[in-house]
Structure 1
Amino acid sequence: MFKKKPEIKNLAPLRSSDRRKLADQIIRDYQVPIPEPSADDASSNTQLTLASLRNSLVPESTSSARFTTLLGPNLSLVSGTIYVGAHPDQEERILWFQSGKNPKLIPTVYTLWHTPGIVPLLHTPDFVVEEKLRHGSDLMIPGLVKAQTAKWDPRATVGAVVAVAGMRKDTVPLWVGSCQVDVCNLGDVRGQKGVAVKPLHWAGDECWSWRELGSGGQDPPESLQGWIGLTTNLTAGVDLLSLEEGQEANSGAPMDTEDSKETGLVDEEEEEREPSTKEVDEAFLQAFLYAIHKAKSEKAGPQFGLDFPVQPSSLISNMIQPYLRSQNQHHYVIKKTSWKNAKKFIKHLDKAGLVKSKDRNGGETVILSIDFDNEQVTRFRPYNLPPPKTTGTEGANKGENAGEHASSSSDPSVGQKLTIQTVYRPAPKLVPALLPSKTEFYSAQQVSSALKSYIEQHEDLGVQGGSTVKLDPFLANSILGSNPNYDDSQFLAAGRISRSALQKRILNDNRLCQPYYIISRSRAASQQKPQAGPPPRIQVTIEKRTGTKVVTKVSNLDPFFIDPQLLAPELQKKCAGSASVGQVKGAKPGLMEVVVQGDQRKVLVGDILAKRGIDVKWVDVIDKSKPKKK
């Protein structure tokens, strides 16, 4: 539902009566039981328990607002209402939403974390949550997991709202969807096909990260009381699942069990425990020391082959990630450290005497130099690096749908070779004297050849000095002097014009030749249809946000066969900063842009876009971060 950033109108506080009605509607729709009062209570206590339930579902000072967003492959416009509130000691979040004509309110994960048990809780392997569901994919029937001795929740029927959790944090809902089948009647899911649950909302979408001021979502808790998990011993009580050969990539995954490990479909990283923050910190420091050690041992010179200043994105992608003891990208990331971001990590290295850093305009911190003789560097001893691991799902997904949003390796735009050709459709006044058809498209070279043939067929035009052509009635009336936007008086007065100027005059005048463009790529199965207008250009804009924060926006990607939803995760990893996809402000619905933290123009143009076949001359870079000169 909220894969695309919604347009949210102004919030309006709910009246107390409307809030009570809303809470009562939720209690009816989800059959939420009212807490039992104490044994020696009075009727007033019953009212208190009902009031507390209402407050837990719809907190006081809840506000509402209308929203619109784009949904589905056709980017259909969907509207609805969001309800924003704050639980005790929590920030203001979207707690409920309603879309279309369906009056039923859908809870977000924030509501589920505070009101356990109001919807059925289903389970699926963790990598299905991370690599499929949190990218907006459906949950397929073979991806469902339950303990052997357990039964499916009887409330999980067609149309019911359900929550989905992974296997590690089996009591923490991370995904909300709508049942497409009677899950309660499925029994054994092995060998079954089809969609079990369609997504409505998940931790990580644009609803989860929304705040009236700023952005970013709240990290899920480690565990919650009140939700029923799988079992305390998962490997003993979980049904064994397996993917049928050739099955869709988003249709679930094999279970993390001994049997599935024998098949080679389960990554050993799934068995690793989650490291502590201190362990992740130490891994990052050791990786940095390893990078320095390797530079000193392989390169010569005062800087040992390192280019300074070192950008935060280059530090993480080139000096940290390749040298981590573990390649588990779910656990060993900068957000799991005590520093939380690359800027604070650089500051720590500076304080430790390993580097010299500097804050640049825009709030970015870079490394100016490294102390290669620091005691920590000289005492470092390298360790064995694990080979990069390929998860079972990545292996199973080879050859699958190229549009899958699971990883950048499935991005069909990577490695493409693009060509842009400008063609022209002639106006009727040029047909058939110069060009044979007004419905065909001609290249500039074909127009030049046609002009040459016309001059050769009319010997009276003559060529003076081998460069100019005498004007006849067709050239003078149909081409020159017909457009008031062009000053042709000097040519008409002289009665002559150079061939090159005449050709340029024809191609530049939209009344004579309407320009079209064709963008084709090596993987295209057929010729692309010409599109009216000049060739498009990718827009890269660097601008300031709140305070000194700088962001980079890249838009107009679709004409070049680049999916913003696939580009954003790669940018986030490459630039070591958050990246999001949203509607281009002021543009037609469906035109999306990617926004990434920091000034990332070099990474974008020189690396990310280059490997997608984008020539630098097709990119416009606009820097709005610098103050305007007076």
Structure 2
Amino acid sequence: MFKKPLADVKTSAPLRSSDRRKLRTRILQTYPVLQPEDGDALVPDGLQSQKFSTHLDDPGVVYLSPAGDPLWFTLGKGSEELIPTVYTLWKRPDLLPFLSTPAPVVPKLIGGADLMIPGVIQHSPSLVPEQLVSITQYHRDALGPPLAVGRMAVSSDTLRSADETDVKGKAVYVLHTWKDALWDMGPSKKADPPAPRPVQAASEGEEQLQPSGSADSEQDGKTGEAASPSAPDIASDVVPAAAGDGTAAPDENGPPSATLTPEDVSDCLRSALLQAIGMSLDGVPPSTFPISASTFWSSYVLPARPAQALTASGLIDASAVDVKHSTFKNVKSFLKASAKEGLLKLKETKGDVVVTAVYPKHPAVAAKRPHRTIGELEAKAKKAESREQQEKEAEEKRKGEIQVAELWLPLGTTVPLFVAAEKDTSDMYTIADIKTILNDYVTARRLINANDPQYINVGSDQPLAIAVSVKGEDTPDFMKRDEVLKRVRAHMQTWHEIRVEGRDVVRKKGEIKPISVVVKIRQGRKACTLVTGYEPFGLQADDLAEELRKMCASSTAVSPVHGKPNSLEVMVQGKQIKSVTDLLMARGVPKKWIQAEDQSNKKK
């Protein structure tokens, strides 16, 4: 929303005391997590208001601190919804429910992109579409500061089901981010984000954080905002924090964190073992066993630890759970106790133990309710980072690639159709543009056949009938949609456009054809590879010949194409289709614009 500078900024004016009090009351009513004393910090004396328009001409009002930092804003004509800025959220991170996303996604958000569903790692529960939320960078052991404010595009149910159903699309419509044009209005724009904060215990009645894709459906219908004003809400304020001794690190600015007792650690490990037996090890072939204790522990038990554990002290991050801080003290004792319970079978060899079998049918395993695991959470984060990296690499590749576009200009019998559709007849259109224009035209004029939606009543609309008519043939009363599109395009003038980074755009009349790479037999038995049609892509014959000579270690030659004195043919000795194709793609030619054929084996 604010990725570009504001279009129309009025002079700021001090807010009257009565208006400031009304604004303060509205904010306290809108955000119940705030206490009356918070109002003076977030709606201070000396508050100023300033009207603006975005680069999209959306009107709004921003409320500035006495120093000039934007604290609140509204968007839309007549809107009274007060939206906190990132400046305000750094003061009260628990003001809004949150979603966390991997570090590679943050620059894209700052660049103006919305947050996509695959990029969500954790989120507050009970989110609903259109709800205001903050976006933080994901940290395994802490919660980063809010870096963006947006509006939910989907519900938390959709986010929780994303892993199972591979849901795509937008999760949050981003309104404002750190470092955007609204942020840059303030004198504090060079300030660095606060450090990530460790986890804190949830107060009674507060909601619990949900990793994206969690199967937990026991929600109480809350909005995701804090129910208790006395302590930050775990749902909108905390990502799991880890400490080496199984104790959550205390927040320097808040009350001590909840701790894991040895009994809590033992419960977490037992829950992880039950999940591993019931889900990861159920149905594995007998050849999987025996498994050494260390492998069993690192590959199955530790990844199955719950992402969050609810203890008597509060909600705890289980990623730091260590058997040394349990009642068992070591892995061997834990496994022996589990074997005594009948969950698995052990064999002792040379002072160590190996797991020879597990029992998924054990009543404790059957009764275990699946939980979201540390392994799943880390895999999701890794997957999201990998996807972002692939997108980044693809974007870099596209930057150096030659962009080829096929265009069509309204001409002759198609001009009346574009005039009737209120489109510029001097513009050139892609096939997608023509299809959209045609569909909109047919819908607006109600030309879809009532008996069969695949057909269009072309005979009842004169501009369309003229556009699809063929000389010497009677125009039918109705025609299939694909045929209408085909005829309209055939009656337009063909053009093409080529864009190469660092060069002027080339737009020429006529259809562009792929580069031809053909292997032929010449002089009896000798095979050679001939390359033609590369000129429209900005490639030079001599350059190609020299590069192919070095690449293929073969002789090359350049000669005029028979019957086309303005075109040159590059010849390289041998069957070199792959080498030529690789070179052309390295020079930016998309693979779809390279047509290769081996004619050397064809009978004469």
Question: TM-score normalised by the shorter chain: which range applies?
Answer: 0.3 to 0.5
Q: Which has the larger radius of gyration?
A: 2
TM-score, normalised with respect to structure 2: 0.37
